[in-house]
Amino acid sequence: MNKEVMIVTGAGQISMAIARRMGQGKKIVMGDKKMENAQAIAKTMNEAGFDVTPVEMDLSNRESILTLIETAKGFGEIKYLVNGAGVSPSQAPVEAILKVDLYGTAVLLEEVGKVIAEGGCGVTISSQSGWRMPQLTAEEDLQLATTPTEELLKLDILQPENIKGTLHAYQMAKRCNEKRVMAESVKWGERGARLNDIAPGIIVTPLAIDEFNGPRGDFYKNMFAKCPAGRPGTADEVANVAELLMSDKGAFITGSTFLIDGGATSSYYYGPLKPEAD
């Protein structure tokens, strides 16, 4: 008997935490651009009793995404999606951030939405950064939500002269993720499936530890010190939200973004993290 299939992209701590929380008894297909990362997560989880197959997958490439989906279909019905893949402002140039985090996520949500099983659900991981930029116009939001995926990177607001740097590109990508989830959730709903977004703040992962110890370390430490929670979060706390969204308890939740940042965004607008307060 075939198992329900869960696609997981991005072989990192958040993806693994969600997969461990929700993947019992399921076939997990773990995709990452670096095969060694996918293999490492698969080994850890398989030795803990899970059933994980690692697959090389480049989120910036539609054909690579389609290959991942075809591999997953070979194991049974695709019932779940966890998208934790992406690059950060300190990892990549503007073009790569937009191609991976914005375009790639849009393609993945679109293509999985074409095959997701009835009763299925997905979560994609965006970021608090999508909340830290001036509001876009209604027309710009509509463009990010509904422009055909192959036309997305041609939008005026995403052209080099309108992107101020890697952080701005990252913010735009994450704003697009949220709008895309809203639009795609309507299509997923036609198949009897749900789709939501989780926007984490600073979560302790190997990448975050590198950031803490790097040139922007003081910025990050100040952010979590001055948020209401007074600390960074953990991957398991993100998995707590994913568990709600992907379980029957979240059956009436779709097309939504859940901000999980210890109140850092609130502090940014109304507290000690407010730019003029520094």
The set of catalytic residues is 170, 174
| Whole-angstrom distance, CA of residue 244 vs CA of residue 253 | 9
110, β-bridge pairs = none
Segment 67-73 long-range contacts (CB within 8 Å, at least 24 positions apart): 68/7, 68/9, 68/29, 68/31, 69/7, 69/111, 69/112, 69/115, 71/29, 72/5, 72/7, 72/27, 72/29, 73/5, 73/115
Residue 117, classed as helix, strand or coil, is coil
**How many residues in the chain?**
278
- Sole residue written with tokens 């994980």: 52
| Whole-angstrom distance, CA of residue 31 vs CA of residue 94 | 23
8: tokens are: 């997981």
Neighbour-count burial of 101, counting CB atoms closer than 10 A to its CB (0-12 exposed, 13-18 middle, 19+ buried)? buried
- Enumerate the H helices of 93-137 as residue ranges: 94-97, 105-113
Containing H/E element for 54?
A: strand 51-56
| Whole-angstrom distance, CA of residue 121 vs CA of residue 215 | 39
